[in-house]
Amino acid sequence: MSKPKVFVTREIPEPGLKAIAEYYEVELWDKYTAPPYEVLLEKAKEIDALVTLLTDKVDCNLISSAAPRLRIISQYAVGYDNIDVECATKHGVYVTNTPGVLTEAVADFTWALILAVARRIVEADKFVREGEWYRKGTGWHPMMLLGLEVHGLTLGIIGMGRIGRAVAKRAVGFDMRILYTDKYRLSPEMEEKFNAKHVDMDTLLRESDIVSIHTPLTPETYHLIGEEELKKMKRTAILINTARGKVIDTNALVKALEEGWIAGAGLDVFEEEPLPPGHPLTKFDNVVLAPHLGSATWKTRTAMAMLVADNLIAFYKGEKPPTLVNPEVMKVRSPGWK
Ligand code: GLV
Ligand code: GLV
């Protein structure tokens, strides 16, 4: 047969595109912004495969109008809350993601936010850049921009998956105590290695100095952190989110920051992305904001593109894609075009 057609909804690193093009006829949406839903809906009807980002809404309407021709959706992200996976499975559509390859980059970025908030890096940069340091008239002052010392603190990790564990591993160097919540428990060896203790959410919130979220967005984790949870946190604690914005109730967080229930936050993800200018979260000096950059290193973004390609190529060859999200789909349809 001629090459199957794949629609790629945004520019991804070249090596991935090249690898895909060896097996598929690639159509690339080359604009910086996402294809509008209507465009995606139209495209989906004429393609065999789809490469999506978390900004593409792949709902049941789209999937059911694109199947049975559409057979695989290869998501360029570890999270796939933008895709109706249950519907895809029902229609025999394979869904893949990019776990593993971005773990270290996201853990690094989590730590960048922890340290930036604790040691007031962004405030300090502004202080120097805008001449405030100079105007103060002294090169050093015992009370200038004092922050929170991270060494030896208690780190609360909500969601001890690959990324949570990579964050925990880095915490060992800071001699921290770790409290974590997860459906699964680490092995006793790993708990010992990370100085980690499995606790309930209540204990984690009450005892942690830093709370970091590493859970996927699911109906269970939607607004997991709301008023009640924020009130349980220490007034000196900071909250970090590099997972999904919707895990936190934004209005509750704004209130918590306004009223000083917590000491600060580092946020890479938001309920609304892009965050509009003038959003209440932008008015706090003790909050560090980033535009969803967790996995944004050249190395990781390229590895993600290669994994997207590997999934499509395995499917093409009639093999199980390496990071298949919905293995049950294999009972509905075998991989490939035979
Ligand atoms: C990004 O947020 C991802 O899920 O990979
Ligand atoms: C992502 O890689 C995770 O499962 O934490």
Tell me how far the alpha carbon of residue 34 lies from the centroid of ligand 1, in angstroms.
16
Pocket, ligand 2, Cβ cutoff 6 A:
78, 99-100, 103, 161-163, 214
Tell me how far the alpha carbon of residue 265 lies from the centroid of ligand 1, in angstroms.
20
Say if CB 318 and CB 336 are below 8 A apart. Answer: yes
Phi, psi of 313, deg, nearest 5: -70, -40
Peptide bond into 274 cis (omega under 30): yes
From first to last of its 338 residues, the chain has per-residue pLDDT tens of 689 999 999 999 999 999 999 999 999 999 999 999 999 999 999 999 999 999 999 999 999 999 999 999 999 999 999 999 999 999 999 999 999 999 999 999 999 999 999 999 999 999 999 999 999 999 999 999 999 999 999 999 999 999 999 999 999 999 999 999 999 999 999 999 999 999 999 999 999 999 999 999 999 999 999 999 999 999 999 999 999 999 999 999 999 999 999 999 999 999 999 999 999 999 999 999 999 999 999 999 999 999 999 999 999 999 999 999 999 999 999 999 87
Ligand with minimal distance to 109 CA: 1
Angle between helices 103-118 and 298-316 (to 10 degrees): 150
* Ligand 1, atom 5: closest residue by C-alpha: 77
Tell me how far the alpha carbon of residue 163 lies from the centroid of ligand 2, in angstroms.
5
Is 214 one of the catalytic residues?
no
Cα three-residue angle 195-155-173, rounded to 5 degrees: 55
Tell me how far the alpha carbon of residue 199 lies from the centroid of ligand 2, in angstroms.
20
Instruction: Find out whether the beta carbon of 77 lies less than 6 Å from any atom of ligand 1.
Output: yes
Is 292 one of the catalytic residues?
yes
Atom of ligand 2 nearest to the CA of 161: 5
Atom of ligand 2 nearest to the CA of 166: 5
Identify the three-state secondary structure at position 8. Answer: strand
Measured distance CA(166)–CA(190) in Å, rounded: 12
Tell me how far the alpha carbon of residue 88 lies from the centroid of ligand 2, in angstroms.
21
Say if CB 266 and CB 113 are below 8 A apart. Answer: yes
Strands 25-28 and 5-8: parallel
* Ligand 2, atom 3: closest residue by C-alpha: 162
Phi, psi of 154, deg, nearest 5: -100, 125
DSSP assignments along 299-319, one per residue: HHHHHHHHHHHHHHHHHHTTS
Whole-model pTM? 0.95
Given 11, 273, 319, 328, the catalytic residue: 273
Predicted pLDDT at 43: 94
Given 292, 301, 319, 328, the catalytic residue: 292
* Ligand 1, atom 3: closest residue by C-alpha: 77
Cα R_g (the chain), whole angstroms: 22
Instruction: Find out whether the beta carbon of 186 lies less than 6 Å from any atom of ligand 1.
Output: no
Ligand with minimal distance to 300 CA: 1
Atom of ligand 1 nearest to the CA of 243: 2
Is 244 one of the catalytic residues?
yes
Atom of ligand 2 nearest to the CA of 165: 5
User: Ligand 2, from 54, 81, 103, 325: best to mutate by most atoms within 8 Å of Cβ?
Assistant: 103
